[in-house]
Amino acid sequence: MSEPAGSIAEIRALTGEAEGLVVAGSILPLAAEPRGGLRCSVRIPGSAARFSEGTLVELDTPECLYLGAVRGNPAGDAITVEVEHELSKAMLGAVRKTWGTEERSED
């Protein structure tokens, strides 16, 4: 998995009390997990407390879409996310093009 540290991300809660909440944040350095996954902290001032343990989240950066779950309680203005999947935006674009579902701009 690539390291998105320093990336500005859109964080979307997929489950839990914060379901549907979308906020902007910044990803702090990642740490490798013993079983091969990655864990990162995401700074989201003013909204961290709304993301409880176990909330499934998307971290949408310019290069990749990361899927994971919040681990532990929010600490100050940051949450900890255990990254389960990483999807390259280039790969997603190719799949969308193949399946005829690429996003279309409305001119």
Write down all domains in the chain, each with its CATH number in brackets.
8-99 (2.40.30)
Q: What is the pLDDT of residues 85-106, one digit of tens each?
A: 888 888 888 887 888 876 544 4
Residues 48, 78: contact at Cβ < 8 Å?
A: yes
What's residue 48's pLDDT? 87
Q: Give the pLDDT band of residue 6 (cuts 50, 70, 90).
A: low
41, 78 Cβ separation under 8 angstroms: yes
Q: Give per-residue pLDDT as tens, 44-85.
A: 888 888 898 999 999 988 888 889 999 987 778 889 998 888
Cα(16)–Cα(19) distance, rounded to whole angstroms? 5
CB 80 within 8 A of CB 72: yes
Residue 89 and residue 47 in contact, taking contact as beta carbons nearer than 8 Å: no
pLDDT value, residue 107: 40
